Amino acid sequence: MMFAARHPGRVRRLILFAPANPFCDLGKQLIHFYQTRFGVWFARRIPFLPRMLKATALSRMYGDPSRVSSDALDGYTQGLHIPGTVDHVLHFEGDRNSSLRMVRGIKNRFGGADAFFCNSGAEAIEAALKWARKATGHTEFVALEGSFHGRTLGALSVTGQPAKRTAFEPLLPGAVFATPETLAEHVGPETAAILLEPVQGEGGVHPLSAETLAEARALADRHGAVLVFDEVQTGVGRCGSFFAWERLGVKPDALTLAKGLANGLPIGALLVGHDAPTAFEPGDHASTFGGNPVTCAAACAVVDTIDEDLLAHVRALSDRFAAALPNTRGLGLLLAVEVDGPVAPIVDAALARGLVIGTAGPTTLRLTPPLTLSTGEADQAISLLTEVLA
């Protein structure tokens, strides 16, 4: 049965009584249900709740004016998703908890981090901008000319490509753009974050040097800013290590992931290192579908698949493409080939031969094959590209 005790205002606290009472052996209450006009919510995360609930002969739980059926309760015991940071994602089946397994997997790769899950790279960037401002108390962002960080308003505001920005101006204030050579001239006491892509993808596939990243690290430390890497394109093994920064030797305070993380399902993530400033509190940021069990299950499979053997394979294929194709640059399997003249005819000729390639500028071919590409398939692609480039 249910007993409802009215709290002040519109909130009711519903305490569950049943043959197996929701109290542990130490007398601690396992769960509270809070009912509002918006529905019934779990208000506490209790790790051993499933055993109690499954042992309880509940036919229904409800309170006026809302109802939660036994089917819904069973769904909660199988896997409950609450929007927000990973600390607010509940899933009661131990290792079957895809959201928590996901964060364990990527935080271990990072070396200790908190995670916020969302649905895209742009959303992850938006979260990073909010976190940086609150964590530092500063208001400005320094990004690079030619950078690309997304098409939502905040992400577009820190994108260093006027052609993408102009139609939507005025954008958010506080973004300034530098080149790798002028970075120090733009970072100052009001800088909240230095936001960098280890390899500029949309901007032409230009890897940043280890020296540039090291300078950015030093500048952030000197001015009380945070260093954020946008690894939406470069992360998850694309560059021959799980994170591109691992090959470049400079660790950021935070980074964003998306794209390949769930192998085609919509996911984004902001990772904030344990050594970075804390900022977000409950209510500061959330995502309705972020961290949901389905996309996190796919992401778990991806993270488990990307082992050292696969990363070594990515690096070997990268070397193979670079050795065979002239004017190649990039890192791992995020590569570009610079050509003399427009790329459109080359793209069309390759497609006619069954090879799909992208572009990253009027004279730049972009090569981003699957990480699982075989050596034979790579050689076939090289042969076709050599033919159309001749």
For residue 89, tell me if it sits in a domain: no
Average pLDDT over residues 11-38: 39
Asked whether residue 209 falls in the same domain as residue 251, the answer is yes
Query: What is the total count of domains within the chain?
Result: 3
Q: Is 27 left (phi over 0), alpha (psi -120 to 50) or beta?
A: left
- Write down which residue in 78, 109, 132 finishes a domain: 78
Whether 58 has a pLDDT exceeding 60, the answer reads: no
What pLDDT is stored for residue 350 in this prediction? 95
**Contacts of range 362-366, beta carbons closer than 8 Å, 24 or more positions apart:** 363/338, 363/339, 364/204, 364/205, 364/336, 364/337, 364/338, 364/339, 365/336, 365/337, 365/338, 365/339, 366/201, 366/205, 366/335, 366/336
Listed in sequence order, the DSSP H helices in 177-209 are: 183-186
* CATH number of 290's domain: 3.40.640.10
Are 161 and 65 members of one domain? no
Q: Are strands 268-273 and 328-331 parallel, antiparallel or unpaired?
A: unpaired
Q: Are residues 19 and 133 in the same domain?
A: no
Domain containing residue 15: 2-78
Final residue of a domain: which of 78, 104, 137? 78
Contact assessment for residue 338 and residue 214, using Cβ atoms and an 8 Å cutoff: no
pLDDT for residue 205: 97
Confidence grade of residue 50 (pLDDT, cut at 50, 70, 90): very low
> What are the pLDDT digits (tens) for 270-299?
999 999 998 998 889 999 999 888 899 999
Q: Is residue 315 part of a domain?
A: yes
Task: Tell me whether residue 216 is in a domain.
Answer: yes
348 and 275: one domain? no
Question: How many whole angstroms separate alpha carbon 39 and alpha carbon 189?
Answer: 46
**DSSP 8-state secondary structure symbol assigned to residue 119:** S
Distance, first Cα to last Cα, the chain:
79
Residues 309-363 have pLDDT tens digits of 999 999 999 999 999 999 999 999 999 999 999 999 999 999 999 999 999 999 9
83: in domain: no
Q: What does the pLDDT average to over 201-221?
A: 97
Give the closest residue to 375 by CA, choosing from 325, 313, 324. 313
Share of the chain above pLDDT 70, in %: 75
The reply to whether 90 falls in a domain is no
Yes or no: say if 207 and 199 are a contact pair by the CB < 8 Å rule. yes
Residue 75 predicted with pLDDT over 50:
no
My answer on whether 126 and 251 are in the same domain is yes
59 found inside a domain: yes
Give the CATH number of the domain where residue 363 resides.
Answer: 3.90.1150.10
CB atoms within 10 A of CB 301: 12
Q: Indicate the average pLDDT of the chain.
A: 81
